[in-house]
A and B are shown apart, each in its own frame.
Chain A
């Protein structure tokens, strides 16, 4: 597609449920990022993939959070046993790796708003 897409756009979960959030990056983009954005705050880094390899997961807040990108394209962020503090917008971004990481422009998806009751 023309841009990064994410699904679902909205997700309501009961505390303790597992959720899976999907990201479809721009076709051909090597790099994929997940961010968590709390209400009224800036996005915070969760994890980074280069193709199918998860090169940095230092931002994942707990072992209940798990991300994968098995074929180097679509990625899924899974949250197990959701808690109320997990309520946030989850943003996905992709970029084409040019060899100079910091020069790559990240293109963001519209996000998934997760509400945990």
Chain B
């Protein structure tokens, strides 16, 4: 079974600065998808960014980018020019390409605070 680890329970960043959230995972599969989700206090999970394991190029979405290191099984999220609205819980998630049940495996989350 796959596992996802987020070693930083809490992080803080000054507004307009850059922060990196860590994620590692364990799998024996060669093809899969990785995700970062944001969960603000309203509890609605919002997709931030997605990475296909077969793609070597790191995914980017505006101020959000990832550093995907497949051999190291590492998938960190970098938030540039942090904004107050970025404050939330961030979850890293793994999804098997072959999982018929289509379920996600989520990490325990990192709570990000943005300081004005």
A binds B: yes
Measured CB to CB, the residues of A under 8 A from B are 31, 33, 35, 40-45, 48, 55-56, 58-59, 89, 91, 93, 101-111, 113
Residue positions of B touching A, CB distance < 8 A: 4, 32-33, 37, 42-47, 50, 52, 91, 93, 95-97, 99-109
Q: Which B-chain residue is minimally distant from A103 (CB atoms)?
A: B33
Q: Do A102 and B47 touch (CB < 8 A)?
A: no
Interface centre among A40, A59, A113, by most chain B C-beta atoms within 10 angstroms, is A40
Residue of chain A at shortest CB distance from B53: A102
The contact of B103 among A33, A40, A105, by CB within 8 Å, is A33
A101 to B54, CA, bound (A): 16
B91 in contact with A110 (CB, 8 Å) = no
Partner of B102, one of A48, A89, A91, A111: A48
Question: Which one, A41, A43, A110, contacts B104 given CB within 8 A?
Answer: A43
Q: Out of B50, B52, B93, B101, which one reaches A56, CB within 8 Å?
A: B101
Please give me the residue from chain B that is nearest to A50 by CB atom.
B102
Question: Within the complex, what minimum Cβ distance (angstroms) separates A99 from chain B?
Answer: 12
Q: A43-B91, A48-B103 are in contact. Are A89 and B43 (CB under 8 A)?
A: yes
Q: Report the bound CA distance from A109 to B43 in whole Å.
A: 8
Residues of B within 8 A of A89 (CB): 43
Give A47 to B32 CA distance when docked, in angstroms.
20
Give chain B residues whose Cβ lies under 8 Å from the Cβ of A56. 100-103
Give B107's nearest chain A residue, CB to CB.
A42
Q: How far is the CA of A40 from the CA of B110 in the complex (A)?
A: 9
Query: Known: A42-B91, A42-B107, A43-B91. Is A105-B47 also a contact (CB below 8 A)?
Result: yes
- Please determine whether A105 and B102 come into contact, CB atoms closer than 8 angstroms: no
Residue of B nearest to A44 (CB): B106
Q: How many whole Å from B107's CB to the nearest CB in chain A?
A: 6
Collect the chain B residues with CB atoms within 8 Å of residue A42's CB.
4, 91, 93, 106-109
